[in-house]
Amino acid sequence: MAAHQVNQDRLWQSLLDMAKIGPGVAGGNRRLALTEEDRQGRDLFCAWAKAAGCAVTVDGMGNIFARRAGRKPAASPVLTGSHLDTQPTGGRFDGVYGVLAGLEVVRSLNDRKLETARPVEVVVWTNEEGSRFQPAMVGSGVFSGRFTLEEGYGQADADGVRLGDALEKIGYKGAAKAGPRPIHSYLEAHIEQGPILEAERKTIGIVSGIQGVKWFKARVTGMNSHAGTTPMEVRRDPLVGAARMVQAVDRITRATRPDCVGTVGEFKVGPGSINVINAEVRFSIDLRCPDGGVLRELEAKVRAACGEIAQEAGLSLQLDEIWYSEPTEFDAKVVQTIAQAAGQAGYPARRIVSGAGHDAKHLAEICPTGMIFIPCENGISHNEAENITPEQAGAGANVLLNSVLTLANEE
């Protein structure tokens, strides 16, 4: 089969048009879930999808499905998409790219009058970012059966507004049943949100899975005293101990496996005065690895090292796990389909594990799933400076188009 190509200029123009809704202050976007801006973005997508001949349905969680019919109406569809909501100071491409690349696939199929055996549906998932309502990825979570509809509706924002009410207010509490239904396969195109593809000059990332993530909160307590009058040998300085723990996280992660990452992001000292030895330090640890067993091993080594440091320094340490997201391995056949599409188009590509979570994580629980990454400028995301080129956008959509064609023509 010869490789088909999307209309790159049309895709790029759609990305720019969508970015006009809920503009940020620095060239990016602020289109928080279930706000008026989100409604406008959804309306624009629905109008475009209808203009492309799709049947649009909305489920009870506000997930939007734009369906292009197949030759076999009863066959389970190939689903592709992502989300339109953004971070408070978000970029123009995170999520939006996957939705509009999906729409561009439908438009390109129309241009070429290409029929598929299975229906193709482009999906917009509700509240992927989790900026307004926690947890994140709740629309796909309800669709996959991970959360109940009631759990989805019950989330409240900082003002106490419940997700269910916000959904109703913007007119996107749909009639379709929210929950699992037969899906042949799910594909999600997304910007990498990291620096690997750009650094290695790869056009396409063939995503093999999503890292497992464990979050911890640590509290180190020592002895608060006067910086001028307390001799070094009697000190129990929690900052000196916590500093060793920060290094231990970094050192142990590097030594464990090249695909592990470990980060201390939050870090607060108390009382934090120039001439006072602190009483306590609180910090977070974020550990990730594509392999659940290795992640547990990494955790055990970090715990042992931190415990040893605390004991040596006469400090007390409390280290609690606050969140765990198990690793996801994508479907081998779907991954292979994406790899073939990239190869056919002649794009430099590599296998990559997603460091961030995506709706595809939930979909992988109910159907064969894969993701296509494209590079983003300097690996920057969740930031108004987020950027890609029209060529990068087009390449990812080309791979998506050919992958969809393959999957939608499977028996």
Residues of this chain that interact with its own copies (CB under 8 A) are: 192-196, 199, 211, 213, 215, 225-234, 237, 239-240, 242-244, 246-247, 250, 253-254, 258-269, 272-278, 284, 286, 288, 354-357, 379-382
**Which of 345, 99, 6 lies closest to 202, judged by CA?**
345
If the CB atoms of residues 201 and 229 are measured against its own copies, the closer one turns out to be 229
Shortest Cβ 325–its own copies spacing (Å): 10
Q: Which CB atom, from 267 or from 324, has the smaller least distance to its own copies? A: 267
Nearer to its own copies, 36 or 266 (CB): 266
CB 243 → its own copies: shortest distance, Å? 4
Looking at the Cβ atoms of 3 and 305, the one nearer to its own copies is 305
Which DSSP helix (H) or strand (E) runs through 213? strand 212-221
The half-sphere exposure of 356 on its side-chain side, counting CA atoms within 13 A, is: 20
Least Å from the CB of residue 253 to its own copies:
6
Q: From the CB of 369, what's the least distance to its own copies, in Å?
A: 18
CB atoms within 10 A of CB 145: 13
In whole angstroms, the minimum distance from the beta carbon of 365 to its own copies comes to 20
CA distance 393 to 395: 6
Q: How far is the CB of 272 from its own copies (least distance, A)?
A: 5
Select 343 or 379, whichever has its Cβ closest to its own copies: 379
Determine how many CB atoms are found less than 10 A away from the CB of residue 76. Answer: 16
Closer residue to its own copies in complex, CB, 150/233: 233
Query: Least separation, in Å, of the C-beta of 375 and its own copies?
Result: 12
Tokens of 181: 């239904």
Q: Which is nearer to its own copies, 13 or 273 (CB)?
A: 273
Tokens in use for 136? 């994140």
Q: Which is nearer to its own copies, 170 or 207 (CB)?
A: 207
Query: Closer CB to its own copies, residue 104 or residue 237?
Result: 237
For residue 358, which of 98, 76, 30 has the smallest C-alpha distance? 98
Residue 29 has φ and ψ, to the nearest 5°, of -135, 150
Contact, 100 vs 86, CB < 8 A? no
Alpha carbons 97 and 12: distance in angstroms, whole number? 9
State how far the Cα of 109 lies from the Cα of 96, in Å rounded to an integer: 20
SS3 annotation, 239-306: HHHHHHHHHHHHHHHHHHCCCCEEECCCEEEECCCCCEECCEEEEEEEEEECCHHHHHHHHHHHHHHH
Q: How many CA atoms lie within 13 A of 64 on its CB side?
A: 31
Residue 299 CB, shortest distance to its own copies, in Å, is: 15
Closest Cα partner for 298 from 274, 273, 275, 324?
A: 324
Calculate the CA 8 to chain-centre distance: 24
CB of 336 to its own copies, least distance (A): 24
